[in-house]
Structure 1
Amino acid sequence: MNLQLKEKVVFVTGGSKGIGKAIAKAFIEEGAKVAIAARGKEELEACENELGVYAVQADLADEKERSRAFSEVVNELGKVDVLVNNVGGSNGSSISETELDTFYQAFDLNYFSAVHFSKLALPEMEKQKRGVIVNISSIFGREAGGRPTYNNAKAALISFTKALADEVIKNGIRVNGVAPGSILHPSGNWQKRIDEDPEKMKAFVENEIPAGRFGTAKEVANVVVFLASDKAGWVSGATINVDGGQSKSNF
């Protein structure tokens, strides 16, 4: 399907591996110009060589680093038509055993990075009277499961997605989200858990994922690319589960 994304400038945060890399690749396959930002130098260089993306090394949990990364992308590619706030990570354990600083760190990476990059992108998108922002959250932003620091931040991101969407759609800007379930890729936690205890993970899939398997990063990327296209022109403020039926929420 031609999603008419050729020559669009796309910026994917946390785009050097896993879901972020798959998103970057999917946009390139549609003919877009793609920039990515992440912390790991080796992964960024590998993506530059493999995909031909413009890569920026930055600690995206840091406000000044985010501003620098966004400026570099705009200076190099001229604008940002599509922003994908993908960067994230999980930390901490139970609430009682997790230091308050760890909660702050989780929100800086998973939530405030998306808020900040969105605020950086909006002025230019408003000038163009069009633009798309896609926030990558999690099904656990809607229900219990996983680590509280991560889930709390992703819940806030889902709420932010709807609030911002309602605010900016009058300016031609659409904001939506994607909430992945358990996605298997080489650099992810699920692969590590399979390596550690394959029988336990087999039972997890049988009991928790109606589709009977883990999802793939490409399956998440396909939904992101669709949401970025004009074919999703009447979709605004939604956060779409991509989870093979794993979520237990009816809403």
Structure 2
Amino acid sequence: MKSNIVIAGIGKGMGSSLAYYLKDAGYNVFLISRGSNVKEVAGKAGCEFYNADLNSYPQCVEAIKAADRTMGGIDAVVNVAGNYYSNQSIEETEPEMFMDAILNNARTFYNIARAALPLLKRQKHGSIIGFSASENVYYNSNPGYASGKGAVYFMVKSLARELIKYNIKVNGVAPGFIGKNDDEIKSNIELGIARRYPPDDINRTVEFLINSEMVTGEIIPVAGGHDINLNSGI
């Protein structure tokens, strides 16, 4: 029997793609997001959803309870939420925008992980997956986005160490630049090129982490080899 998966943060890009992929693969999927897009995605995918602001911990708790009631348990929670990417410099990044970028990328992961934790501990198994970013994204982003994604990276390491005693795996995916539509993606993949890539391999990586028994505390880059073209700085 396939696992029960909660996906938090459903936009028009990665979250939607992952929802369709896992549902088509036979998983039970429950979506959590505050945006209007989640209703459309849930309708197309044929799954249930709950409107919640992932920046609100109480709303995340209620959303996880709804997912538990609907599916009869939760095997994995995946937080895809993240926003505020731009290549603005520190001087172009206002303090308010800096904080918003951190919170939308880091606090959402913390909230959904913490909300799901009592259930996963009770079951003595489960998987928590967050989305960080690969190096080529960090080096081309504003300070707030880089800080938020960096926080996810180190939270994964910290939580994996803390929760291993409960048989709960905590991992992350570090995508490169993801295309949202056919206009942004060419049909032929060229590795190592600074461009946008389709989300297919990211979806497969998330599925691998959901099903893995041994992998925890890892952040897996899926960036088309763009990172290896960075100069060493030496």
TM (norm. structure 1) is 0.81
Q: Residue 163 of structure 2 is aligned with which of 164, 168, 171?
A: 168
**Residues 67 and 244 (structure 1), Cα distance of their counterparts in 2 relative to 1, 3 Å cut:** same
Deviation for aligned residue 1:143: 4.6
- Residue type matched to 2:10 in 1? G
CA offsets per residue over residues 10-31 of structure 1, 9 Å max, x none? 1111134311122122222332
The answer for unaligned runs of 5 or more in structure 2 is none
CA offsets per residue over residues 174-218 of structure 1, 9 Å max, x none? 11110000111229xx94xx9xxx9xxxxxx98xx5158632112
For 2:141 and 2:92, how far apart are their aligned partners in 1? 15
Is residue 2:220 matched to residue 1:240?
yes
Q: Counterparts of 1:104-183 in structure 2 under 5 Å?
A: 104-140=99-135, 143-183=138-178
For 2:101 and 2:46, how far apart are their aligned partners in 1? 30
* 1:55 corresponding residue in structure 2: 49
For 1:218 and 1:91, how far apart are their aligned partners in 2? 21
Q: How many residues align?
A: 227
Is residue 2:194 matched to residue 1:219?
no
Deviation for aligned residue 1:90: 1.5
* 1:201 corresponding residue in structure 2: none
The answer on whether the counterparts of 1:141 and 1:155 sit within 8 Å (CA) in structure 2 is: no
* 1:3 corresponding residue in structure 2: none
The answer on whether the counterparts of 1:12 and 1:37 sit within 8 Å (CA) in structure 2 is: yes
Is residue 2:70 matched to residue 1:90?
no
The answer on whether the counterparts of 1:13 and 1:84 sit within 8 Å (CA) in structure 2 is: yes
The answer on whether the counterparts of 2:54 and 2:112 sit within 8 Å (CA) in structure 1 is: no
Deviation for aligned residue 1:107: 1.9
Deviation for aligned residue 1:112: 0.8
Q: Secondary structure at 1:234's aligned position in 2?
A: coil
**Structure 1 runs of 4+ with >4 Å offset:** none
* 1:69 corresponding residue in structure 2: 63
For 1:141 and 1:120, how far apart are their aligned partners in 2? 31
Identical-pair percentage? 29
The answer on whether the counterparts of 1:137 and 1:157 sit within 8 Å (CA) in structure 2 is: yes
The answer for unaligned runs of 5 or more in structure 1 is 1-5, 199-204
Q: Secondary structure at 1:247's aligned position in 2?
A: helix
CA offsets per residue over residues 43-98 of structure 1, 9 Å max, x none? 22221221112112222233343333223222322332100011111257322232
For 2:71 and 2:27, how far apart are their aligned partners in 1? 11
TM (norm. structure 2) is 0.86
**Residues 62 and 123 (structure 1), Cα distance of their counterparts in 2 relative to 1, 3 Å cut:** closer
For 2:174 and 2:49, how far apart are their aligned partners in 1? 25
Is residue 2:4 matched to residue 1:9?
yes
The answer on whether the counterparts of 2:54 and 2:111 sit within 8 Å (CA) in structure 1 is: no
The answer on whether the counterparts of 1:140 and 1:154 sit within 8 Å (CA) in structure 2 is: no
The answer on whether the counterparts of 1:88 and 1:109 sit within 8 Å (CA) in structure 2 is: yes
CA offsets per residue over residues 132-181 of structure 1, 9 Å max, x none? 01111111498522222111110111000011011111211111110000
**Residues 101 and 71 (structure 1), Cα distance of their counterparts in 2 relative to 1, 3 Å cut:** farther
Q: Secondary structure at 1:215's aligned position in 2?
A: coil
